[in-house]
Amino acid sequence: MRQHAFGWWSILRLGAVQAAIGAITMLATSLLNRLMVLEYGLAAGIPAGLVAWHYGVQLSRPLWGHGSDVGRRRTPWILAGMVTLGLGALLAVRGVTLLDVSRGQGIALAVFAFTLIGAGVGAAGTSVLALLATGVAPERRAAAAAVTWIMMVFGIVVAAGAAGALLDPYSKQRLTAVASGVVGVALLVTILATFRLEGQAPLLRNTTRSADPPLSLRQALAEIFADDEARRFTLFIFVSMLAYSMQDLILEPFTGLVFALTPGQSTSLSGLQNGGVLVGMIVSGVGGSAFRGRLPIELRTWTMVGCLGSAAALAGLAVAAWVGPGWPIAANIALLGLCNGAFAVSAIGSMMGLAGAGRSNGEGVRMGVWGTAQAIAFGLGGLIGALGVDVARGAFGRPGMAFAVIFAAEAGLFLASAVLAMRTRSQPSPAARLQSVGV
């Protein structure tokens, strides 16, 4: 049987890697986005397209996951991914600083840099999740997912706050120095966090290797998509993450147009939503682990509750778009964040359990497939939400009606996700467990 060697200290170390990934990614997807539009006068579609491209590059996640499956260890893939991510972020900064010299050269370098960023996030992130799936005991998976994702958010918040404080007054030299500092600290944290991580758990390596020769990537993917459970879970990840990401670009414009909130007030509501996400992650993580084995509550139950709650909150926003001022918009958005957080952590915990459902040592490819589904959904979600509002506003002529239609569509996607979650196990079936150990 599989041996689960990771205690809480090892989980925290992998959470530190997630924080480092979040910190570097923040530079590209948030800070440089703002600089390209405001400081260098680019059309907003250019940085948005670069972010979408970095999601597109993450279609390579199964390749990186397969590489870590057939290799002797996963931590070299994490380190290589982080180096690639850091190099991509620094090249993206260089591309931005070239924009006032040559727009063509700057954008071309940025495209190459975001290619590296997507590849680095894919390689490091997939290998971290595969290592968690291999090494964390079932009763700790929900809490482990909560810990690692909360630490990733913490890394984003700390890096954004520090970079924002150090960038004023803005100059190219300051931008380069700040970005180099963020990347340097993130790489140092990753090296320290992964040092002898697998070496301290020899059972982890020895018991997750199959006696059979390793499958090729094509064979590993064929095995996954021949598994009804894996196919359903892939569809669940895509649909739920599409719903999760559709409001990203429209929530603040919604509160401004329909409720006449100032930019500062809208930003405060976004902070309230993110706070709700963190609370939801903590509640789901603690609940999914503390009550496991004591109450008949599976991770998929928490996932369903999160999806249904998110659908209810989005239905409330659709009503709010009709009612306008007077609706308890702050409470509604806080509820959305709470349910989003509960759904996300429990879904990731289920992902860890199902990652070992096939052939032994196939966690990386499975995590890669599901990471690809998530990346595609994230890339499409924001685009569909924003374009959907524009089209609906043109069709109905009323902002409130347009937002109501999109929020109702998101609610429907979350309801569909709840149905898919109900039909998906959060653990391998007994037959799959026997297959995974070669019986």
List where CATH 1.20.1250.20 sits in the chain.
Answer: 1-209, 211-439
* Residue 439 DSSP code: -
What is 68-91 written as a DSSP string? Answer: HHHSS-SHHHHHHHHHHHHHHHHH
Fold of the domain spanning 211-439: Growth Hormone; Chain: A; (1.20.1250)
Q: Is pTM, for the whole model, over 0.95?
A: no
Instruction: Give the residue among 184, 109, 150, 87 at the shortest CA–CA distance from 280.
Output: 150
pLDDT at position 438, please? Answer: 34
Amino acid at 49: G
Helix (H) or strand (E) holding 243: helix 228-245
Per the DSSP assignment, residues forming a β-bridge with 292 are 295
Helix or strand run (H / E) with residue 418: helix 399-422
In contact, 265 and 392? CB cutoff 8 Å: no
Per-residue pLDDT of the chain (439 residues; tens, 9 = 90+): 344 568 889 999 999 999 999 999 988 887 888 788 778 888 767 887 888 899 889 988 988 888 888 876 889 999 999 999 999 999 999 999 999 889 999 999 999 999 999 999 999 999 998 888 888 877 777 778 888 888 988 888 888 888 888 888 888 999 999 999 999 999 999 999 999 888 654 434 444 444 455 667 777 788 777 878 888 889 999 999 999 988 877 888 898 889 988 877 876 887 788 888 888 888 887 766 555 544 344 667 888 999 999 999 999 999 999 999 999 999 999 999 999 998 888 888 888 777 755 555 677 888 888 888 988 898 888 888 888 888 888 888 888 899 999 999 999 999 999 999 888 765 544 444 434 333 2
DSSP 3-state assignment of 295? strand
Cα–Cα distance between 47 and 29 in angstroms, integer?
A: 8
User: Which CATH fold would you assign to the domain 1-209?
Assistant: Growth Hormone; Chain: A; (1.20.1250)
